[in-house]
Amino acid sequence: MNTDETTAGHLQELRRGTVVLACLVRLRTPDYGYALLESLNELGITVDANTLYPLLRRLEKQGLLTSEWNTDDARPRKFYRTSATGEQLAGALTTDWRRLDDALTRLTTGDER
Amino acid sequence: MNTLTDRYVWAAARNVPEVQRAEFANELRERIGDESDALIASGHSPADAEVAALTDLGDPAALAAHYVDRPLHLIGPRYFLTWWRLLKLLLVVVLPIATAAVLLAQLLSGDAVGQAIGESIATGISIAVHLGFWTTLVFAIIERSPSTVKVEIWTPEQLPQVPDAGRSHWLSDLIASAVFLVFFAGAIIWQQFFSVYADDAGQPIPLLDPELWSFWLPYFLVLIALELLFAIAVYTWGWNWWLVGANVVLNVAFAVPALWLFLTGRLFNEDYLDAAGWPWAEAGGIIATIIAVMFVVIPTWDVAEGIIKTVRGRGATRVTAAV
């Protein structure tokens, strides 16, 4: 395994949980899969379609997202929205994210005590 | 005519449980449509865009499995170790016993020795395949069933003993036992077909009384198979008092019938002894006594050796613990 592959693997692991958090926060305003993918990538949260679509399904199954079919356009689209439980999880994840960020900052600046 | 998208959606949706199928198909159409539109917007022709979008999605069966969280492996990490331990156990315990039982049954029913061995090897292979297949099938079903089956919880008592210096010694013991036992079993079978003496019709005269094939020689062959299992047990666990006990039982089971058959004159073939010119004057009595004594001394020595190794093993454990 070369260095690039190793780096890519670790980056993927680091980002895995953050995609869930980003979806929960972003879907406070309802949106459909492709638009969500675009907007997350524009924000710099890189996520693959093969990861995102199954993830949305899983989050819906866990009751963290609710969904509704929008048939206004020629192509029916499934709009997802963060549920109340999803909101709670987003809160918990954000708190933990901040805590980790603080800890890493203290670690790198060297005044961890 | 169906479009490529229709065909793709159908191929993917049939891998999804029926209750989810319609919803899944709609989601997939939305995704393919949006991804194709994006490619068209970036300058592809509509036909190229559809092909490119579908190529990007990959194998429909894999995509569907990914969507519904179905495993793409036969047995996953949760059950793999349990499956592997059980399979090893079955192959080590059930397979030799079943094969030996088939061999014994064949011999008792009066089949020729070569045919009996051939058939028990064939049955053994078939048993091994069955053990592997059914065990794996059960675990593959458990892997796919929604309710989680409780896996045996690992505890520290399951830790194996650290192999010490004595351990390599056990391996050489195992190899020596295996070679000797296979040779011994081979010799019992071999003497039936090959002999230094032939009768008037040119047939070889076996050393051992052929009537023993009705029970005693198969009995000894099964004992040899058990001795082999015993040697593996010694290698696996090292000597302990249980194995010393088993060793006593095995040796008695071998030596007592052998000695009895010898003393009552039923062990060796009369014809063979005649052909060899037995008894050889005064030497005959001495040789008979030596053979009888060997039937007693060799098993006694074998039992004693086991006891010595067990005691030494205990001593070694204490020393290691003290260090």
Residue A91 sits at the chain B interface (C-beta within 8 Å): no
The residue in chain B having the minimum alpha-carbon distance to the alpha carbon of residue A50 is B57
pLDDT value of residue B258? 87
Residue B323 has pLDDT above 50, yes or no: no
Inter-chain touch A78–B26, beta carbons under 8 Å: yes
Rounded to 5 degrees, φ, ψ at B297 are -70, -45
Residue A99 in tokens: 């805590």
Per-residue pLDDT of B158-171, as tens digits, reads 777 765 555 556 67
The residue in chain A having the minimum alpha-carbon distance to the alpha carbon of residue B26 is A76
Q: Which of B34, B56, B66 sits opposite A54 (nearest CB)?
A: B66
CA distance B66 to chain A (A): 7
CATH number, domain containing residue A89: 1.10.10.10
Would you give the distance in Å from CA A111 to the centre of its chain?
A: 31
Residue B30 has pLDDT above 80, yes or no: yes
B165 burial (CB, 10 Å; 0-12 / 13-18 / 19+) is exposed
Residue A59 has pLDDT above 90, yes or no: yes
Residue A81 has pLDDT above 90, yes or no: yes
Residue B321 has pLDDT above 60, yes or no: no
A3 within some domain: no
Residue B33 sits at the chain A interface (C-beta within 8 Å): yes
The residue in chain B having the minimum alpha-carbon distance to the alpha carbon of residue A35 is B34
* Amino acid, single-letter form, for residue B137: L
Structural domains counted in chain A: 1
Residue B134 has pLDDT above 80, yes or no: yes
A67 within some domain: yes
Sort out which chain A residues have CB atoms less than 8 A from B29's CB and list them.
75-76
Long-range contacts formed by A11-20: CB under 8 A, 24+ apart: A15/A45, A15/A46, A15/A47, A17/A93, A18/A45, A18/A97, A19/A45, A19/A47, A19/A51, A19/A52, A19/A55, A20/A55, A20/A59, A20/A93
Per-residue pLDDT of B97-130, as tens digits, reads 888 888 877 777 777 778 888 888 888 899 899 9
Residue B29 sits at the chain A interface (C-beta within 8 Å): yes
Q: Are B299 and B255 in contact (CB under 8 A)?
A: yes
Residue A109 has pLDDT above 50, yes or no: yes
pLDDT value of residue B139? 86
d(CA B228, CA B249): 14
- Residue of higher predicted confidence among A42 and B201: A42
Residue A69 sits at the chain B interface (C-beta within 8 Å): yes
> Which of B27-31, B107-111, B187-191, B302-306 has the lowest average pLDDT?
B107-111
Mean of per-residue pLDDT scores for chain B: 81
Residue B314 has pLDDT above 80, yes or no: no
A24 within some domain: no
Per-residue pLDDT of B218-246, as tens digits, reads 888 898 899 888 888 888 877 888 888 88
Inter-chain touch B35–A34, beta carbons under 8 Å: yes
pLDDT value of residue B133? 92
Inter-chain touch B30–A78, beta carbons under 8 Å: yes
- Residue of higher predicted confidence among B274 and A101: A101
A9 within some domain: no
pLDDT value of residue B280? 64
- Residue of higher predicted confidence among B187 and B151: B187
What is the full DSSP assignment across B161-213? PPP-HHHHHHHHHHHHHHHHHHHHHHHHHHHHH--S-B-TTS-B--SB-GGGG
- Confidence band (pLDDT; 50, 70, 90) for B80? confident
pLDDT value of residue A28? 93
CA distance A32 to chain B (A): 9
Inter-chain touch A33–B31, beta carbons under 8 Å: yes
CA distance A66 to chain B (A): 14
pLDDT value of residue B171? 72
A68 within some domain: yes
Residue A88 has pLDDT above 80, yes or no: yes
Residue A68 sits at the chain B interface (C-beta within 8 Å): no
Sort out which chain A residues have CB atoms less than 8 A from B58's CB and list them.
50
Only one residue has tokens 């679509």, namely A53
Rounded to 5 degrees, φ, ψ at A89 are -60, -40
> Which of A86-100, B56-70, B278-292, B296-310 has the lowest average pLDDT?
B278-292
Residue B310 has pLDDT above 50, yes or no: yes
A13 within some domain: no
> Which of A65-79, B17-31, B256-270 has the lowest average pLDDT?
B256-270
What is the full DSSP assignment across B27-70? HHHHHHHHHHHHHHHTT--HHHHHHHHHHHH--HHHHHHHHTT-
Residue A50 sits at the chain B interface (C-beta within 8 Å): yes
A with B: how many residue pairs have Cβ under 8 Å apart? 41
- Confidence band (pLDDT; 50, 70, 90) for B319? very low
Share of chain B above pLDDT 70, in %: 88
pLDDT value of residue B175? 79
Share of chain B above pLDDT 90, in %: 9
Residue B171 sits at the chain A interface (C-beta within 8 Å): no
- Residue of higher predicted confidence among B28 and B160: B28
Helix axes B113-144, B165-193, angle to 10 degrees: 140
A50 within some domain: yes
Q: Which of A53, A58, A69 sits opposite B31 (nearest CB)?
A: A53
Mean of per-residue pLDDT scores for chain A: 89
> Which of A40-44, A57-61, B40-44, B280-284 has the lowest average pLDDT?
B280-284
- Confidence band (pLDDT; 50, 70, 90) for B283? low
Inter-chain touch B33–A75, beta carbons under 8 Å: yes
Inter-chain touch B30–A76, beta carbons under 8 Å: yes
Inter-chain touch A75–B34, beta carbons under 8 Å: yes
pLDDT value of residue B150? 65
Which domain covers residue A93, as residue numbers? 30-104
Inter-chain touch B30–A77, beta carbons under 8 Å: yes
> Which of A15-19, B76-80, B134-138 has the lowest average pLDDT?
B76-80
